[in-house]
């Protein structure tokens, strides 16, 4: 099994007629993902390399039976696109757009929770979700991921997501699903959401968690691991040398006061029973040791 998406998932690409959405949407299709439609309110009725374009997500869903939206549109229209996808009944919404104001993210997050609780938003500002060999929605290079393995990955960092997949592939370890949740202050899907899904997935037998400085999401994940997760966890936290008060990379990666430090997150995860690595390569090696013992 996999979590959130699989080989049956049909995907609508919002902004497919634009440069970025076209590039990544067609790469997803080349990987084997069922990209069945595009959305552009000004270009309904057109096609992009055989993919029909509709004026809105509701029309695309009605015509194709799509269950997922891939949103790769500018920040000024991304919140409206997310809401449009949710109102159309999309079950999974992947938004890679960066630069969305935090207040807009919070508004969309709360609106989805209130009015469209069955819609799962992954992102914004994330690499997306890949179930290797089955489905890839987003910007992750499918070539760095090996299918058929026992490991689930959840990460705040896009670059470290790719490295984690590659480290495991180099050791012949496959992945059930890899979810890049993004590093913005208000992600649609959290570490705990993914850990709950991995706990329920019988094919996922171990989990790699990649966090970074800022916020308390990793501490919340540690609490869930200690209380609920029955599967071994390897964790890596980026930003050990980050100075307090300075944002590092993501909008959510800032140490404020005495909270959000890498050291505090690493301590919480160790206390929860996770094996905590000092760098991504060590994380891969620790996971290889776990996989050999499964």
Residue 16 · residue 22 · CB < 8 Å:
yes
* Residue 24 annotated in active site: no
Euclidean distance between CA atoms 262 and 80, whole angstroms: 34
Element (H, E) at 51: strand 51-54
Kind of pairing, strands 120-122 and 233-238?
Answer: unpaired
Rounded-to-integer distance, Cα 186 and Cα 215, Å: 10
Rounded to whole angstroms, the Cα distance separating 37 from 30 reads 14
Q: Could you tell me the two tokens for 81?
A: 């696109």
User: Cα 139–178–223 angle (5° rounding)?
Assistant: 130
For residues 237 and 215, give the distance between their C-alpha atoms in angstroms, rounded to a whole number: 12
Q: Which of 120, 231, 250, 275 is catalytic?
A: 250
Which positions are catalytic?
Answer: 250
């Amino acid at each position: 099994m996999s979590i959130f998406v699989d080989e049956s998932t049909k995907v609508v690409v919002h902004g497919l007629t634009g440069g970025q959405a076209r590039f990544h949407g067609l790469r997803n299709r080349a990987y084997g993902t069922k990209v069945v439609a595009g959305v552009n309110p000004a270009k309904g009725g057109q096609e992009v390399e055989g993919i029909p374009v509709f004026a809105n997500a509701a029309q695309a869903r009605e015509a194709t039976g799509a269950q997922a939206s891939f949103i790769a549109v500018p920040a000024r229209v991304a919140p409206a696109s997310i809401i449009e996808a949710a109102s159309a009944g999309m079950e999974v919404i992947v938004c890679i757009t960066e630069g969305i104001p935090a207040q807009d993210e919070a508004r969309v997050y709360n609106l989805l929770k209130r009015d469209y609780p069955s819609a799962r938003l992954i992102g914004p500002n994330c690499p997306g979700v890949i179930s290797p060999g089955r489905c890839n929605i987003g910007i992750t290079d499918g070539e760095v991921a090996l299918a058929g393995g026992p490991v689930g990955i959840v990460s705040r960092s896009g670059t470290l997501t790719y490295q984690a997949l590659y480290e495991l592939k180099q050791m012949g370890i496959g992945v059930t699903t890899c979810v890049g949740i993004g590093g913005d202050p208000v992600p649609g899907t959290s570490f705990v959401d993914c850990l709950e899904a991995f706990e329920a997935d019988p094919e996922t037998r171990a989990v790699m968690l990649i966090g970074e400085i800022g916020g308390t999401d990793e501490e919340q994940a540690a609490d869930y691991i200690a209380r609920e997760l029955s599967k071994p966890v390897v964790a890596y936290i980026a930003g050990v040398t980050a100075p307090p008060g300075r944002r590092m990379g993501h909008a959510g990666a800032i140490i404020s006061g005495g909270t959000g430090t890498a050291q505090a997150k690493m301590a919480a995860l160790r206390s929860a029973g996770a094996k905590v690595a000092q760098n991504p390569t060590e994380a891969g090696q620790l996971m290889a040791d776990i996989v050999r013992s499964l």
